[in-house]
Amino acid sequence: MDIATLQAYGYFFFTGFLVVLLYSYIYHLYSSQKKGTRDYEKYGNIALHDEVTDQPIEEISKNDEIKK
């Protein structure tokens, strides 16, 4: 087995790993949006609505401010 064969196997397995990682991330995004824990579509407009007078994406509760 030469180095070119090892590189080909490594490329194949690494590409497969990245595909699995991508699909698991997409599943996480859709499932968390469906459950209602987080709506990631709001974050898509964050660059468009970045004025001081715009509404924030998520309100920060008093408990979260104390933890920081």
pLDDT tens for the chain, residues 1 to 68 = 899 999 999 999 999 999 999 999 999 989 988 888 877 777 777 777 777 888 777 777 766 556 55
Q: Using alpha carbons only, how large is the chain's radius of gyration in Å?
A: 21
What local confidence, expressed as pLDDT, does residue 56 receive? Answer: 76
Establish if 62 belongs to a structural domain: no
Determine the structural domain holding residue 17 and report its residue range. 3-50
Establish if 59 belongs to a structural domain: no
Asked if 43 and 56 touch (Cβ cutoff 8 Å), the reply is no
Establish if 57 belongs to a structural domain: no
Establish if 24 belongs to a structural domain: yes
Residue 8 tokens, joined: 């080909």
The count of structural domains within the chain is 1
What local confidence, expressed as pLDDT, does residue 4 receive? Answer: 95
Round to the nearest angstrom and report the end-to-end CA distance of the chain: 55
What is the pTM for the complete model shown? 0.61
Distance of alpha carbon 10 from alpha carbon 45, whole angstroms: 38
